[in-house]
Each structure stands twice: as structure tokens, then as C-alpha cells.
Amino acid sequence: MDKIPFLRPELIKNEHIVSYFEKIHETRIYSNYGPLNGLFEERVIAEMFDGTGAAVTVHNATIGLMLAISQCKRSQGIYAVMPSFTFAATPLAAEWCGLQPYFLDIDPKTWQMNEEQLEQAVKLLGDQIAVVVPYATFGSAFDLSVYNHLQQQGIPVVIDAASSFGSTDPGEVSQFGKGFEGAVVFSFHATKPFGVGEGGLVYSADRDLIQRIRQAGNFGFSTGRESVLQGLNSKISEFTAAIALATLDRYHAVKANRKGIYDLYLHELRQAGLFERGWTMQSMQGAVVFQFMPILSPESHSNREVIEHLAANSIEARTYFSPACHEQKQFQRYPQFPLPVTEHVARHIVSLPLWKEMDETIVRRIVTTLGSLGD
Ligand SMILES: *Cc1c(COP(=O)(O)O)cnc(C)c1O
């Protein structure tokens, strides 16, 4: 039986990048927010954010989170309030900024940070909160009003929107995050829907914030090349900017392809009656550009059993994000609210394959294999 891999990332083809690469050889500018990088940032704001706000590229989303947190955080604060159900990069970025992650649970339907616990945390922790870092789970959008309100109260918000580039807001009108006064951080890692290899972007409606992040990302240099901020080097090369521009030219096709495969899954899962047998899915908001296909196994089967059963049938799957952050050695010592939903989801989350060439036959084989697990 042919093996079905979990991911088969495919970056933009050479023929679509060549004309951009030629420009690099003409200008002989290879980095330092060069002309292609500038063009990419401009196009992102114009084409994805309808001309609202500003953006700066970063060489990955982890660095983007670090820079955004360090430029937003309240100096007297000690905690970065975040969901435990996220990638390790979120709490790691907080640690690099000298903060302690403070873990909250997720909502059982949307798998987004639990807003009631967030309200309690704000009351309980007050000024000890340096920053709040929600995660837009698996590219799904959420209503920003709670977070706009925090920003207005002077509590900074950095959204980990790592897999949300191209995903819309809940009303499916604009790019998720458009107009937000806090920071919104996207990843362009090869495994994300908008993949350039290694890369990312920080967006905000607050232009000064983006300007500070840009400066911090270039050693904290002032115009006189004096380091005036706690900086580092987060710049992408012009070659990466070329790949990003070529990827942007053709991103609509990626979105349509991924949506098509997601719909095939929904159809097959319904046909096979798996929802009646206790399999459940995230209730998503907005039009999402899917990175993979997340699903929860029924009470009777842990995700470990599911992964082994799939592997025995030559199907590769993963368990993002299991263990949850608070269950990982590096983060166990940090304070947390009760996390029953996170722990349940971490025991049952299965990430199924999703890649360009997947057709009905492949999707059906995966779903049939899930069904053959029994009840
Ligand atoms: C992928 C991911 C990151 C890290 O992105 P990089 O660009 O690889 O640094 C951070 N947070 C979440 C939730 C992610 O999925």
C-alpha cells in the first residue's frame, strides 16, 4: 500500500521566482529591508489589509513573537497570559522576553483561549500582566472585541496568528487581524499555508509599533546606527522576499486547493458516519487556509491509538499540540488555571494529512481507516 505522508510542502516553482531573482542581481542588494522586501510589505498591506496599518517581515514567527512582546510588554508586568494549547514557540518567546507564561484553558467548541478565564486572570493578576498572547487556533479567526477592550485598558495584546495568513475574520470580509492595534504575528514556515522556507510577518494598525519592531529587528539601530533598543537581527534576505512575492502572486490557488481538500474530508467523514460515532471537529470561524486537518478522536480511543492504527495502515498523522505546553518539561513550573479542556483535547487531537495532490481516493482511504478502528 502506498504510504500517505502527513505533509508534502511545495514552495513556489523556480519559473515564478526567476524574474524577482534577476532584480536582486541587478540591484546587488541582498538584505537590510531591501527593495523586494519593501515591495512585499507594501503589497501585503495593500492587497491583504486593504491599505490599513503597517507590517514588517521577520525571519520566523518565533522571532516575530519575541520582538512584538518585547516592544509591547508593560515594564512592571511579569506574566504573559496565553493558552496552554499552542505551539512551544509561544511560551518560549515569552521566556526570551524575561516573562513567565501564565496558562489558561481553551473553549471546548472553538479551541480558542477561554474568555471567562481571561477575565478572571485580568482581575486576579492586574498589573502583573505584561502582555496577553492569544493564539488563533489552526488558522481559525475569533472576535477581536475582547482584545480591543484589553488594549484600550492598557493591557497589550500580541496575537499568535502563525497559521492565519490568508484566513479571514469571522465575518469573512477581511484578512484576520486587520485594524488591530496590538501586534499580529504570522509564520511563513514551509509547513504553513503561506510557506517561503523560513519567514514571517508582524502586522499592526499601530504604525509606531511596527516601526519599533523594524528597528529592534535591525540591532535596535537608530538612523545614526546607534543601538537604542534591545535589538537582534530578524531580517529576511532579498531571496526570501522574492519567494514571498512570487508566493503572494499565486496564493489564491493555494487557498482554493486547501479548501477543496477540507471539504472532501467533511464529505467523507459524514458519509462514514464518524460524527455519530463520537469524532468531533473544531468549530471554525472565518474562511481558513488549512495547514492540516485537525479532528478529535472519540472518548474510547486516545490519539496515540489512532496514530498507531493509521501508521499500521501506512498513513502518517500527528498530534498538534500534544503534549500541551503546560505538560512539557520546560513549562511545567509555570502558573496556570484549571485546564480540563486542554487536557482532553491534548489526549484526543489528531492532525490528519493535508497536501496539494490529495484527491477523493486518498481522503477516503484515510477516513475509512479511521472508521475501521471500531468503537
Ligand atoms: C508554526 C508556529 C509558530 C512558529 O513559527 P516559526 O515561523 O516556525 O517560528 C508559532 N506559533 C504557532 C502556534 C505555530 O503554529
Report in angstroms the alpha-carbon separations of 182 from 93, 117, 144, 148, 155.
16, 20, 10, 8, 10
Mutational pocket test of ligand 1: of 158, 164, 189, 194, the residue with most ligand atoms within 8 Å of the beta carbon:
189
pLDDT for 147 equals 98
Distance 62 CA to ligand 1 centre (A): 6
Find out whether 232 and 224 touch, Cβ atoms under 8 Å. no
How is residue 71 written as a grid cell? 516592544
* Ligand 1 atom nearest residue 188's Cα: 7
Distance 188 CA to ligand 1 centre (A): 9
Distance 200 CA to ligand 1 centre (A): 9
Report in angstroms the alpha-carbon separations of 296 from 85, 163, 231, 256, 369.
14, 19, 41, 25, 15
User: DSSP 3-state assignment of 164?
Assistant: coil
Residue 375 has pLDDT above 90, yes or no: no
DSSP H helices in 31-78: 35-43, 61-72
Query: 163: Cβ below 6 Å to ligand 1?
Result: yes
pLDDT for 171 equals 94
Distance 11 CA to ligand 1 centre (A): 17
Query: 90: Cβ below 6 Å to ligand 1?
Result: yes
Instruction: Match 498513513 to its residue by C-alpha cell.
Output: 315
Mutational pocket test of ligand 1: of 85, 106, 158, 160, the residue with most ligand atoms within 8 Å of the beta carbon:
160
Binned at pLDDT 50, 70 and 90, residue 374 comes out as confident
Find out whether 178 and 169 touch, Cβ atoms under 8 Å. yes
- DSSP letter string, 186-197: EE-BTTSSS--B
* Ligand 1 atom nearest residue 189's Cα: 7
Closest residue by Cα to atom 14, ligand 1, is 162
As a dihedral over the C-alpha atoms of residue 156, residue 158, residue 159, residue 161, rounded to 10 degrees, the angle is: 160
pLDDT for 63 equals 98
Model confidence pLDDT, tens digit, residues 39-59: 999 999 999 999 999 999 999
Binned at pLDDT 50, 70 and 90, residue 323 comes out as very high
Query: 196: Cβ below 6 Å to ligand 1?
Result: no
Q: What is the pTM of this model?
A: 0.98
Give the H/E segment covering residue 312: helix 303-312
Model confidence pLDDT, tens digit, residues 142-170: 999 999 999 999 999 999 999 999 999 99
Binned at pLDDT 50, 70 and 90, residue 239 comes out as very high
Query: 189: Cβ below 6 Å to ligand 1?
Result: yes
* Ligand 1 atom nearest residue 62's Cα: 9
As a dihedral over the C-alpha atoms of residue 309, residue 109, residue 113, residue 337, rounded to 10 degrees, the angle is: -80
Model confidence pLDDT, tens digit, residues 251-308: 999 999 999 999 999 999 999 999 999 999 999 999 999 999 999 999 999 999 999 9
For residue 139, what is the DSSP state?
G
